[in-house]
Amino acid sequence: MESRVALISIIVENSEQVTALNALLHEFSGYIIGRMGIPYRQRGISIISVAIDAPQDTINGLSGRIGRLTGVTAKTVYSRI
């Protein structure tokens, strides 16, 4: 299956979900190019960007599972390559 490059943007508003989020990212670690997390302490949230190279179904699956975590939002942007 053809792989795609994408960026998953994640906002964590519920810090209790960090362990579950990290477990999901670890599960898909073979596809992850890199990630960057920024704690925004003034607002009590974390902002995370995950660069990934994987089949589109895999990217959609990860993004969907992240978005189902309570207090976590995920949006995905795909490269045209």
Q: What one-letter code names the amino acid at 20?
A: A
Q: Domain boundaries in the chain?
A: 3-78
Query: The sheet that has 32-40: what strands, in order across it?
Result: 32-40, 45-55, 3-12, 72-78
Distance of CA 33 to the CA centre of its chain: 12
Tokens 């925004």 -> residue: 40
In angstroms, rounded to a whole number, what is the distance separating the alpha carbons of residues 33 and 54?
Answer: 10
* 12-44 tens-digit pLDDT: 999 999 999 999 999 999 999 999 999 999 999
Question: What CATH number should be reported for the domain whose range is 3-78?
Answer: 3.30.70.1150
The residues facing 34 across adjacent strands are 51
Confidence bin at 64 (pLDDT 50/70/90): very high
